[in-house]
Amino acid sequence: MPPETNSNPLINRLGTYRTTVTADETVKAYIPPCLPPNPELNLQPLQALIEKASLLLGKLNAITSQVPNVNLFLYHYIRQEALLSSQIEGTQSSYHDLMLHEVNEAISVPLEDVEEVSTYIAAIQYGVHRLKQEDFPLSLRLLRDVHAVLLTNTRGQHKQPGEFRQSQNWIGGTRPSNALFVPPPPEWLPEGLGALEAFMHETESNLPHLIKVALLHVQFETIHPFLDGNGRLGRLLITLYLLEKDVLTEPILYISLYLKRNQADYYRLLNEVRLSGNWEAWLEFFLEGVVQTCQSTLKTTQAINALILQDRQLLASQARKTQTSLQLYELLLLKPLLTIPYASKALALSQPTVTKAFQKLEALGIVVEVSGKQRGRFFAYSAYTALLSNPS
């Protein structure tokens, strides 16, 4: 069926609509034009913001080479992104819940919420590993593979993990006819996704990578190629693209905190692109998000490094320092919420030995017992978790 064209004078920047039937209702599905936008983008007013964002990304890259343990650093940032990106989709899990879950303790929110965060962590790690360690190109194939991990053993496991949708979906509303947005029909996906993949790798437009990835994110969300997980995967696409293009050396830029705080503007600007072709407003919003995220990450990283240095020096200065206390402290950097049985097993030490080490760290003010119970107690590296769970 040929597309029904729009009479707006900015026709080349706007999409078209195709009438389709889904759930026994006739709706108009939106088909976006190919990238890059036409008429071409006016980037001159954004040039200072582009330069500022690029400079801060360079500083972010530099700091990853300065931290004592970059893997530890990434371990927690990936978890924070997984939490925030999942919260945008409506899950209720907090950083505290995730830490409890990872040491096999009971949580106060639905288990499915925490499991969705855990699978998102696995999906991030999988995608980054394929790109950086296996040198696998960013492609539709990689996105499908990451999507399969994302939906493993979650509420979306029956929604074709790793497969582009073969049916019409919609966003918002209780049925297609009152939806906020109806993405393209499934028969158009091969054409649209093929064009999306081609734009990932084209060089003729000479667009800065930050601009290209901002365009890619909107186009991916507009196409909405999967039955579930499009929002999370579309946000992960930003990091994967910047990694492949060597704008980032480590997967450290995650803007979900910014998007969550400005969620209404985020959705409004996505819709403005579709309805009026206003790409420049979206680009300004996105670049500001990169700037704020970089500034926040730099500040938090410096604070974490200072805290770790301070507490390591405190432990080293003790006249009766023990190897067990040092081992327990290093474990707390990975799992800042711990129970005695979990630490005992992880360190291959007896529970009485670990209990004494916890008592020593507690006396130094490094950990706090937070359960308030005589049995089944757990300890938090509270100053550390405060920084990790509040990356602003």
For 291-343, the pLDDT digits (tens) are 999 998 888 888 888 999 999 999 988 867 678 999 999 999 888 888 899 89
Residues 246 and 154 grouped into a single domain:
yes
Q: Does a structural domain hold residue 152?
A: yes
For 249-260, the pLDDT digits (tens) are 888 888 888 998
**What is the DSSP secondary structure assignment for residue 32, as one 8-state letter?**
P
Q: Residue ranges of the alpha helices (H) in the chain?
A: 47-64, 70-88, 95-102, 111-132, 140-150, 189-201, 209-223, 230-244, 256-261, 263-276, 279-316, 323-334, 340-347, 351-363, 382-389
Per the model's pLDDT, the better-predicted residue between 196 and 94 turns out to be 196
Looking up residue 323, the CATH number of its domain turns out to be 1.10.10.10
The token pair that represents 55 in the structure block: 């400079």
Residues 280 and 156 grouped into a single domain:
yes
What percent of the chain is modeled with pLDDT above 90?
52
Residues 333 and 268 grouped into a single domain:
no
For 76-123, the pLDDT digits (tens) are 667 777 666 666 666 555 666 666 656 665 545 455 556 667 788 888
Task: Give the end of a domain, one of 249, 270, 299.
Answer: 299
**Contact predicate 186/29, CB 8 Å:** no
**In this structure, how many other beta carbons lie within 10 angstroms of the beta carbon of residue 211?**
19
Predicted structure pTM score: 0.85
Task: Give the end of a domain, one of 241, 264, 299.
Answer: 299
Residues 179 and 266 grouped into a single domain:
yes
**Contact predicate 169/224, CB 8 Å:** yes
- For range 36-61, the mean pLDDT: 94
- Hey, what amino acid is at 356? K
- pLDDT(373) > 50: yes
Residues 59 and 94 grouped into a single domain:
yes
Q: Does a structural domain hold residue 6?
A: no
Burial of residue 186, with CB atoms counted within 10 A of its CB: 0-12 exposed, 13-18 middle, 19 or more buried: middle
**In this structure, how many other beta carbons lie within 10 angstroms of the beta carbon of residue 369?**
13
Q: Does a structural domain hold residue 127?
A: yes
Residues 226 and 372 grouped into a single domain:
no
**In this structure, how many other beta carbons lie within 10 angstroms of the beta carbon of residue 102?**
17
- Strands 16-22 and 25-31 turn out to be antiparallel
Cα–Cα distance, 23 to 29 (Å, whole number): 13
Cα–Cα distance, 357 to 240 (Å, whole number): 41
Q: What sign for the dihedral angle of Cα 134, 152, 337, 259? A: positive
The token pair that represents 336 in the structure block: 């800042």
**Contact predicate 224/171, CB 8 Å:** yes
Tokens 């759930």 -> residue: 23
Residues 289 and 323 grouped into a single domain:
no
CA distances from 3 to 10, 29, 215, 270 (A): 16, 10, 23, 22
Residues 238 and 119 grouped into a single domain:
yes
Looking up residue 245, the CATH number of its domain turns out to be 1.10.3290.10
Task: Give the end of a domain, one of 241, 265, 299.
Answer: 299
Q: Is 172 left (phi over 0), alpha (psi -120 to 50) or beta?
A: left
The lowest-confidence range among 304-318, 341-355, 362-376 is 362-376
Q: Does a structural domain hold residue 308?
A: no
**Buried/exposed code over 128-154 (b: 16+ C-beta within 10 A; e: otherwise):** bebbeeeeeebeeebbbbbbbbbbbeb
Cα–Cα distance, 153 to 148 (Å, whole number): 10
Residues 140 and 261 grouped into a single domain:
yes
Per the model's pLDDT, the better-predicted residue between 77 and 354 turns out to be 354
Q: Which residues contact 314 (CB under 8 A, 6 or more apart)?
A: 364, 366
Cα–Cα distance, 32 to 219 (Å, whole number): 8
Rg (CA), the chain: 23
The arrangement of strands across the sheet holding 337-339 comes to 337-339, 378-380, 368-369
Number of structural domains (the chain) is 2
- pLDDT(204) > 60: yes
The confidence score (pLDDT) of residue 250 equals: 86
**Buried/exposed code over 306-327 (b: 16+ C-beta within 10 A; e: otherwise):** ebbeebeeebeeeeeeeebbeb
The token pair that represents 374 in the structure block: 């005589």
Residues 384 and 278 grouped into a single domain:
no
Tokens 């450290």 -> residue: 252
- In SS3 terms, 185-244 reads as CHHHHHHHHHHHHHHHHCCCCCCCHHHHHHHHHHHHHHHCCCCCCHHHHHHHHHHHHHHH
Q: Does a structural domain hold residue 171?
A: yes
What DSSP line would sit under 63-109, residue for residue? Answer: HHTTSS-HHHHHHHHHHHHHHHHHHHTT----HHHHHHHHTT---SS
Residue ranges making up the domain that contains 254: 42-299
Averaged pLDDT score across all residues of the chain = 85
CA distances from 298 to 249, 294, 310, 372, 382 (A): 15, 6, 18, 35, 20
**In this structure, how many other beta carbons lie within 10 angstroms of the beta carbon of residue 187?**
12
The confidence score (pLDDT) of residue 1 equals: 41
Q: Does a structural domain hold residue 2?
A: no
Residues 192 and 231 grouped into a single domain:
yes
- pLDDT(183) > 90: yes
Q: Does a structural domain hold residue 34?
A: no
Q: Does a structural domain hold residue 7?
A: no
Residues 245 and 324 grouped into a single domain:
no
